[in-house]
């Protein structure tokens, strides 16, 4: 692992600039999702008309999609391991697995949104609809961006010289992002689906 770092630029803290950038960006993202989740909690119980969350949320189904997202984080860990230990096959395979699991999660979300829509819940119905769709929608957007990010890395790794000498850094930093999005989902899942209404 140490060998991979030898080409990186010297920095005051020893952490690569790109990785530090990702950390600070994720700090900012915490406040972004914090505000969205707070909005959801503030409006909890404020809906004047249904459908209300207890009437419409499908907890078993979403538990399944949550499991899928958790598995994608596991795949991501393995991809980072592969990148750091020069096991390029493992890295590529696990990147692909992460992407596919991420897409599966998005598929669940599209299905859930469509079902809710057909049951009469949309952005304009009530406070639950507005805060639920905006919160989970922006989380889904983050998953989508993550899929795009990882796909770019995967395509990049297929080139003749792969991801170059900063390979482990690229994958590691993308992993930070992916795990963050995953952790945020755990919070959202707990707040929306598991906390009593």
Partner 1 sequence: MATAVGTVGQTTEHSKIWEWMTTVDHKKIASLYGVTGFTFFLVGGIEALLVRTQLARPEGTVLDADLYNQLFSTHALTMIFLAIMPLGASFFNYFIPLQIGARDVAFPRLNALGYWMYLSGGLMLTLSFFFGGAPDGGWFGYAPLSTTAFAPGRNMDFYTVSLLILGSSSLIASLNFVVTIINMRAPGMTMMRLPVYMWMTLVVAFLLVLSLPVVTVGLIQLYFDRNFGTNFFTPATGGDPILWQHIFWIFGHPEVYVLILPSMGIVSEVLPVMSRKPLFGYAAIVFAGAAIGVLGFGVWSHHMFTTGLGTVPQVVFSASTMAIGIPTGIKIFNWLGTMYGGNIRFTTATYYAVGFIALFTIGGISGVMHASPAVDTQHQDSYFVVAHIHYVLFGGAIMGIFSGIYYWFPKMTGRFLDETLGKVSFWVMFIGMNMTFFPMHFLGISGMPRRIYTYESGLGWDTWNLVATIGAYIMAFGVLLFVINFFKSMRQPQTAPDNPWGGSTLEWATSSPPPEHNFDVIPEVRDRDPLWYNRDHGIELPPKPEHMHIHMPPPSYYPLIIGAGVTLVGLGLLAHLGVAVAGALVVVYGVWGWALEPTD
Q: Is 54 in the site for partner 1 (CB under 8 A)?
A: no
Q: How far is the CB of 123 from partner 1 (least distance, A)?
A: 5
**Burial class for 2, CB neighbours closer than 10 Å (0-12, 13-18, 19+):** exposed
Q: Is 46 in the site for partner 1 (CB under 8 A)?
A: yes
Residue closer to partner 1 (CB basis): 12 or 118: 12
Q: Is 141 in the site for partner 1 (CB under 8 A)?
A: no
Q: Is the peptide bond before 51 cis (omega within 30 degrees of 0)?
A: yes
Residue closer to partner 1 (CB basis): 47 or 62: 47
Q: Is 191 in the site for partner 1 (CB under 8 A)?
A: no
Member of 1, 3, 27, 118 binding partner 1 (CB under 8 A): 27
Write down the residue that tokens 């990049």 correspond to: 156
Provide the token pair at 147: 């899929």
Distances (CA, A) of 197 to 53, 55, 56: 7, 10, 12
| DSSP letter assigned to residue 47 | -
Q: Are 158 and 15 in contact (CB under 8 A)?
A: no
Residues that bind partner 1 (CB under 8 A): 11-13, 15, 17, 20-21, 24-25, 27-29, 31-32, 34-36, 39, 42-43, 46-49, 123-127, 129-131, 134, 138, 148, 152, 156
């Amino acid at each position: 692992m140490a060998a991979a770092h030898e080409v990186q630029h010297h920095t005051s803290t020893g952490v690569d600039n790109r990785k530090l950038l990702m950390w600070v960006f994720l700090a900012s993202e915490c406040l972004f999702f914090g505000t969205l989740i707070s909005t959801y909690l503030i409006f909890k119980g404020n809906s004047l008309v249904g459908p209300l969350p207890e009437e419409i949320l499908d907890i078993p189904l979403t538990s399944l999609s949550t499991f899928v997202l958790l598995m994608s984080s596991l795949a991501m860990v393995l991809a980072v391991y592969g990148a750091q230990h020069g096991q390029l096959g493992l890295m590529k395979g696990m990147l692909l697995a992460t992407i596919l699991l991420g897409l599966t999660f998005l598929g669940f979300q599209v299905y859930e949104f469509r079902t809710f829509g057909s049951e009469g819940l949309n952005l304009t119905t009530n406070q639950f609809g507005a805060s639920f769709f905006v919160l989970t929608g922006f989380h889904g957007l983050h998953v989508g961006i993550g899929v795009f990010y990882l796909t770019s890395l995967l395509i990049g790794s297929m080139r003749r010289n792969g991801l170059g000498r900063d390979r482990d850094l690229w994958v590691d930093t993308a992993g930070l992002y992916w795990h963050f999005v995953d952790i945020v989902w755990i919070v959202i899942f707990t707040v929306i689906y598991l906390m009593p209404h």
